[in-house]
Amino acid sequence: MKMSVVGTGYVGLVAGACFSDSGNDVCCVDVDENKIKRLTQGEIPIYEPGLSEIVERNAKAGRLHFTTNLEDAIKHGRLIFIAVGTPESPDGSADLSAILNVAKTIGKNMDGYRVIVMKSTVPVGTHKKVMAAIAANTDQPFDYVSNPEFMKEGAAIEDFTRPDRVVIGTTNPAAADIMRELYAPFMRRDERIYVMDPASAEMTKYAANAMLATRISFMNEVACLCEEFGADVESVRRGVGSDSRIGSAFLYAGIGYGGSCFPKDVSAFVSMGKDLDLATPIVAAAQEVNKRQRERFAQRIIDRFGDDCGKTTLAVWGLAFKAKTDDIRESPAIEGIKMFLNKDMKVRAHDPEAMQVSANELGTDVVMCKEEYDTLDGADALVIFTDWPKFRTPDFDTIGEKLSQRLIFDGRNLYDPSMMATRGFEYVCIGRPTIAPR
């Protein structure tokens, strides 16, 4: 099947690569000439496990192409996926300007029937605006499909090729059949395709992310209470998560969610309610709790050193908002480091993938270290922001020897508190009593 993907960001590139890997002829288009040049040369602008291999394989096979010519891409594909950004506006709403510009261009350059598929996350009701923008610029027939993505950064290939579900929002059964055919290679064991109207499909995406964000924020509120009462949030999580009505997913206490999806989508959810003069207090509270949780962890570290902040050096492990990605958008680590710098604390940091983009954001005030143990040189404490696998089983002897004091602040609850006490560390984590060394 010939198809085009407009936008080679995280969603568009993964979708285009995976669709080409299932035998489709895919043309990916982007206005960023440098990005397209890099992709044409085999360079992947984002870090996502497994993505570079799929892009390389299908580019060599001639099934995956990259261009900056949107008009040519529109003529190439029977299906045209829109996967451009919808950044957060100052008022929290989603900025649809890029979406609508693409829709107008599609309308002007269609030379026959097309299925226009919205892969970007857009506010409920956007389908009407996009369809109107296309129809105002063409006499050609087309169908519109809302097809929200549900990929997790760091596991996007697995999520795309083995999806929990595929949501198809359309009122035309024929368009739904085309989408079923497209997703058939990823549905070998059982079909998990849900067809509904476009508005319901748009709402499904926001409702899912708002629910997951709420669970995270709920557990972080529980963690704050656990710290005050001396309870262990991990024990509480296991007890609560064993309830079949609740389950254990997204009940881990930590330093809050980040990235490109949850913060933006939660803000848009709240904004949609405000536009209708309809309060959304549960989701708004989840948003506020998340903001407070990030600041609270960093402030605990600042308070620990007090008047000595200006004499303190911190070793930081992890800069990306989560493991297996180089994405620092809304990263608790970046926000925390900025708070440390405002208190004149020195920071030495390491991340397996996100150091270059973090250096661009933080400047020369932070020393970026090639290896995680290099951050410990001259440091007074270790701060863990991201749960990269290699941070889970470190050499504690080396950590203890290099730090000026055996002090670890763990924002991901990676280690067993009693084990840390036995190793002689003061261990400060989330939702559990601070452990003193034995």
Residues known to be catalytic: 261
Beta bridge partners of 407: 426
* Extended beta strands in 111-258, E state: 114-118, 142-146, 166-169, 193-196
Distances 205 to 85, 119, 350 between C-alpha atoms, Å: 15, 11, 34
CB 8 within 8 A of CB 51: no
CB 305 within 8 A of CB 345: yes
CB 28 within 8 A of CB 37: no
Q: Where is 28: in which H helix or E strand?
A: strand 25-29
CB atoms within 10 A of CB 223: 25
What is the Cα–Cα distance from 149 to 167, expressed in whole angstroms?
8
What is the Cα–Cα distance from 243 to 214, expressed in whole angstroms?
18
CB atoms within 10 A of CB 92: 16
CA-atom Rg of the chain in angstroms: 24
Q: Convert 202-217 to b/e letters by CB count within 10 Å (16 or more is b).
A: bbbbbebbbebbbbbb
Beta bridge partners of 65: 27
Tokens standing for 7? 């936008």
The alpha helices in 41-80, defined as continuous H runs, are 51-60, 70-76
